Chain A
Amino acid sequence: MYQYLLRRLMLLIPVLVGVTLAVFLLMHLAPGDPALLIAGQNAPPEVYERIRQSLGLDRPLYEQYAMFLGRVARGDLGRSILLHKRVADLIAAALSVTLGLALGGMGLAYLIGVPVGIVSAVKTYSVVDQASMVGALIFVSVPPFWLGLILMYVFGLCLGWFPISGHGSLAHDVLPALTLGLGGAALVARMTRSAMLEVVRQDFVRTARAKGLSEQVVIYKHALRNAVIPIISLLGLRLGWTVGGAVTLEMVFSRPGMGRLLVNSILARDYPVVQGVLLVLGLAVMLGNLLADVFYAVADPRIKYR
């Protein structure tokens, strides 16, 4: 197991190098550069060229990339072109805003999604099942920014229960976490339902019931344990998505998190920040998957890693 983990962790390095290379090339292939944005449209060409030089953008691409890799190897993500702040500091600040929201949202998604999925699977085609699946379909389909606006309107503006936007306190986290959580819960519920449905029809469940076990033990101890693998897979996938994918939510709720940092730096062609953020996001996706793999073994003793 430990060897397996170590191997997986070592594998992160080439994958991350690949990610940075792809990002680096894509960013430089895209038209526009930060010097043009800094200089503004009124600046004469020589000013633009001087800004390019000062940013090191006039050097060959491979040189720029090698410099970036060298810095990363030394644990330095560089400085933002526009903000002149250390990229690591910018990411740390943004992560602290995003992580709470991501964990809250994921927690809610599983807290709501798993029970709803189980009830739906156990009571297949009942009113409860149909109602929860229609609900799930709605929340899966609704774009998060729209749901966010509706929640802000109802719970922030009309009822005044929670702050409308911003961050800084637990109350500020409620509405964005709920928005994220409801969308996630819908996915989790659908996944749980289908996984459970597959399992509850199997022989061992019938045997468990025949042994005279209570329905709760049959469902929670025998069926759920066997249905949990795809639900865990979803956890791995969503962790990465939640850390970087909540861009629209961060815009709507005015939260200076990772998604917004990424989008703003892409729009400003702030290359060091884009590369730093994507490195961290790549890491989050891979760690999410690794975590899921570890949970597999915990959830299902038949799974062994060598």
Chain B
Amino acid sequence: MKRQEHRRFVWCMVAVLAVVLVLGGCTGKQPQSESGKPVRDTIVVALAREGETLDHIKTSWTTDAHYTVLDRLVERDFDLKYVPHLAESWTSSPDGKVWTFKLRKGVKFHDGTPFNAQAVKWFIEAIIDPKNASPSASDFAFISRIETPDEYTVEFHLKNPYPNVLFKLSTTYAGIISPEAYKKYGPEGTKEYGTKYMVGTGLYKFVEWVPGDHLLVTANPDYQWGSEFVQNKGPAYIKNINYRIIPDAATRLMEFEAGNVDLLLEVAPQDVDRVSKMANVQVFRKPHFGLGYLAYATDKKPFNNVKVRQAINLAIDREAIVKSVFFGVASPAYGYLPPLLPEYVEDRQAHRYDPEQAKKLLAEAGYPNGFKCNLATLNKTEHVRVAEAVQAQLAKIGIQTEITQYDNASYAAFLKEGKQELFIREYSWSSADILQWFLYSSQFPYPNHSRWVDKKTDQLIDGAEYAPSMEARAQGYKVLQEYLISQAVWCPIWFPEKVQAVRTDKVDNFKMHPLYTIFNDVRLK
């Protein structure tokens, strides 16, 4: 009798569960919001990856939080024009070797330290100081010394005329830290800067970072120095930003669909279609500042032969790769720099898909039957797919490749040791000097992993980098690219797209910026 009751109870439970499941139905609806819920004061932003440390003097990886907590002297508006921020104005001397910045008055860091010329001088010198071994040191190597004639004036004295000063001062690496906070909590202090503390003058103040979980920032009530391209110059409308670290793309998407995440900063190409179809969601798409390319060790046989390199360029069907690997959420690349840059040059003829001509070039180079080589790639899903497509396309002209995948650390070591033959790379950078980093001879063997050591390239880069004006610089970089393309130094494949999505039922007035996330004017509904 007892056993029968027990069994009946179990079956009842199973039946109830089944009914609930069936009636509940999996309709994709969102959880109902409770009535009378408290006013939301926190926007939840999903981050795919967090930095290793928030001390950007010590790391080459910055996150969105660096932008919201720290301010820079110069800002870039939605059209990427340089606009004043912590610097009110600037001038450069006629010889281009002295840049003077007049600083905004009345600004203070989150810890109460006043923002002034000494703070700027300390910060830039901290980056340049070899003792700190900052990965950003090379970004500011153009500065020979910094002077502070008065409390609100900073003079940068340059080694050579250098037109790209504003760009360097507008990147997240140039976000200015409170000198007092860094002395107290930095490497010379408690060593807690970058994990427990992060102090700037930004729109938001750092609250806490739980690695692997979330990073919380709260609105700076003293903020009155919004840039000219935002309407709200004062404190942010939204009290807190909770950056949730959600490494898995499928989970991020589900949290977004369920309404637990308000803003997706990165939507993977394969998910763009799905996100676009969600209700109450607005999707933003803009070209990203980056390039994905196939590179080769240009000092090794057979890649030291320009005809082989040109043949590889003609063997790659860029449109097919963009369609199949990126689902159209990217564009075929016909040049070495992102199209949004003023220095952009494209050559569709040199980068057309022409396997027949590629075979001819290979035969002329002495490889009528092709050859075998290694094709290395990072183990990132899209890069592996690109490598597989490249493998199939190169096989058509007789180049047999074997794909090897690496994680970030071993890929860097592999390239540094110079073991590469063919390899897939992608860079993200919004200035033409990326070509200097990758192709200047002094950067050999790393990051010049194409192993391109060429006097003419060096001369052209020097001419462009230290040109007297931005126009001359752009012209110099154009000439350089034409030369590089004639030498087929790289095989450009795709220009990535930046895709973001926001929940319009929860967030108002969000506008996508090509480089950063701007919260000044954003409100919660």
Do A and B make up one complex?
Answer: yes
A positions within 8 Å CB-CB of B: 30-34, 36-47, 50-51, 54, 82-85, 90, 93-94, 149, 152-154, 156-160, 163-167, 216, 251-256, 260-261, 264, 267-269
Query: B251 near A: Cβ within 8 Å?
Result: yes
Q: A41-B447, A256-B211 are in contact. Are A267 and B254 (CB under 8 A)?
A: no
Q: Cβ of A45: which chain B residues have Cβ within 8 Å of it? A: 446
**1/0 per position for B389-424, CB-CB distance to A under 8 A?**
000000000000000000111111110110000000
Q: Is the CB of B60 within 8 A of A33?
A: no
Q: Is the CB of B30 within 8 A of A83?
A: no
Query: B270 near A: Cβ within 8 Å?
Result: no
Q: Is the CB of B32 within 8 A of A158?
A: no
Q: Is the CB of B211 within 8 A of A83?
A: yes
Q: Cβ of A264: which chain B residues have Cβ within 8 Å of it? A: 212
Contact of A37 among B3, B24, B408 (CB under 8 A): B408
The smallest C-beta distance from B378 to any residue of chain A, in angstroms, reads 11
Q: Cβ of A37: which chain B residues have Cβ within 8 Å of it? A: 52, 408-409, 412
Q: Is the CB of A42 within 8 A of B60?
A: yes
The smallest C-beta distance from A274 to any residue of chain B, in angstroms, reads 12
Q: A50-B133, A83-B53, A83-B195 are in contact. Are A33 and B211 (CB under 8 A)?
A: no
> Interface size bucket, B side?
35 or more
Q: Is the CB of A149 within 8 A of B246?
A: no
Q: Is the CB of B437 within 8 A of A251?
A: no
Q: Cβ of A157: which chain B residues have Cβ within 8 Å of it? A: 28, 30, 254, 257-258
The smallest C-beta distance from B120 to any residue of chain A, in angstroms, reads 22
Q: Cβ of B61: which chain A residues have Cβ within 8 Å of it? A: 40
- Per the bound structure, the CA–CA distance linking A24 and B52 in Å amounts to 22
How many A-B residue contacts, CB cutoff 8 Å? 155
Q: Name the residue of chain B whose CB is nearest to the CB of A145.
A: B248
- Per the bound structure, the CA–CA distance linking A141 and B104 in Å amounts to 63
Interface centre among B26, B52, B257 (most CB of A within 10 A): B52
Q: A37-B412, A254-B213 are in contact. Are A149 and B60 (CB under 8 A)?
A: no
Q: Cβ of A158: which chain B residues have Cβ within 8 Å of it? A: 24-29
Q: Name the residue of chain B whose CB is nearest to the CB of A37.
A: B409
8 further interface pairs, Cβ-Cβ under 8 Å (given A34-B409, A45-B446, A84-B194): A39-B133, A42-B139, A50-B130, A156-B254, A158-B26, A160-B31, A165-B254, A254-B248
Q: Cβ of A84: which chain B residues have Cβ within 8 Å of it? A: 53, 191-192, 194-195
Q: Is the CB of B53 within 8 A of A82?
A: yes
Q: A261-B212, A268-B409 are in contact. Are A160 and B32 (CB under 8 A)?
A: yes
Query: B138 near A: Cβ within 8 Å?
Result: yes
Q: A254-B244, A254-B251 are in contact. Are A154 and B212 (CB under 8 A)?
A: no
Q: Cβ of A164: which chain B residues have Cβ within 8 Å of it? A: 251, 254-255, 258, 260
The smallest C-beta distance from B325 to any residue of chain A, in angstroms, reads 23
Q: Is the CB of B213 within 8 A of A166?
A: yes
Q: Cβ of A255: which chain B residues have Cβ within 8 Å of it? A: 212-213
Query: B135 near A: Cβ within 8 Å?
Result: yes
Q: A33-B413, A153-B254 are in contact. Are A42 and B135 (CB under 8 A)?
A: yes
- Per the bound structure, the CA–CA distance linking A282 and B135 in Å amounts to 36
CB neighbors of A among B255-306 (8 A): 255, 257-258, 260
**1/0 per position for B430-446, CB-CB distance to A under 8 A?**
00000001000001001
Q: A256-B213, A261-B212 are in contact. Are A166 and B408 (CB under 8 A)?
A: no
Q: Is the CB of A166 within 8 A of B244?
A: yes
Q: Cβ of A47: which chain B residues have Cβ within 8 Å of it? A: 130, 133-135, 137-138
Counting from the closest, the 9 A-B pairs by CB-CB distance are A40-B60, A256-B212, A160-B31, A32-B409, A82-B52, A31-B413, A32-B413, A50-B133, A158-B26
Q: A43-B138, A165-B246, A268-B52 are in contact. Are A253 and B195 (CB under 8 A)?
A: no
Interface centre among B192, B251, B254 (most CB of A within 10 A): B251
The smallest C-beta distance from B81 to any residue of chain A, in angstroms, reads 25
Q: Cβ of A156: which chain B residues have Cβ within 8 Å of it? A: 254, 258
The smallest C-beta distance from B190 to any residue of chain A, in angstroms, reads 10
B contact face: mostly helix, strand, loop, or mixed: loop
Interface centre among B27, B30, B254, B443 (most CB of A within 10 A): B254
The smallest C-beta distance from A134 to any residue of chain B, in angstroms, reads 17
The smallest C-beta distance from A163 to any residue of chain B, in angstroms, reads 8
- Per the bound structure, the CA–CA distance linking A252 and B130 in Å amounts to 41
Q: Cβ of A83: which chain B residues have Cβ within 8 Å of it? A: 52-53, 195, 211
The smallest C-beta distance from B127 to any residue of chain A, in angstroms, reads 11
Identify 23 residue pairs between A and B in the complex whose beta-carbon atoms are under 8 Å apart, listed by A's number: A32-B407, A32-B413, A36-B409, A36-B416, A37-B52, A38-B58, A38-B60, A39-B135, A42-B447, A47-B133, A83-B211, A84-B191, A94-B212, A149-B250, A152-B254, A154-B26, A158-B24, A158-B26, A165-B255, A167-B213, A256-B210, A260-B247, A261-B212
Query: B245 near A: Cβ within 8 Å?
Result: yes
Q: Cβ of B30: which chain A residues have Cβ within 8 Å of it? A: 157, 160
Q: Cβ of B26: which chain A residues have Cβ within 8 Å of it? A: 153-154, 158-159
Query: B504 near A: Cβ within 8 Å?
Result: no
Contact of A254 among B130, B246, B417 (CB under 8 A): B246
Q: Is the CB of A40 within 8 A of B244?
A: no
- Per the bound structure, the CA–CA distance linking A154 and B22 in Å amounts to 11
Q: Cβ of A50: which chain B residues have Cβ within 8 Å of it? A: 130, 133
Q: Cβ of A260: which chain B residues have Cβ within 8 Å of it? A: 212, 247
The smallest C-beta distance from B336 to any residue of chain A, in angstroms, reads 16
Q: Cβ of A160: which chain B residues have Cβ within 8 Å of it? A: 30-32, 258
Q: Is the CB of A252 within 8 A of B447?
A: no
Q: Is the CB of B412 within 8 A of A32?
A: yes
The smallest C-beta distance from B130 to any residue of chain A, in angstroms, reads 7
The smallest C-beta distance from B412 to any residue of chain A, in angstroms, reads 5
- Per the bound structure, the CA–CA distance linking A43 and B414 in Å amounts to 16
- Per the bound structure, the CA–CA distance linking A205 and B211 in Å amounts to 55
Query: B148 near A: Cβ within 8 Å?
Result: no
The smallest C-beta distance from A151 to any residue of chain B, in angstroms, reads 11
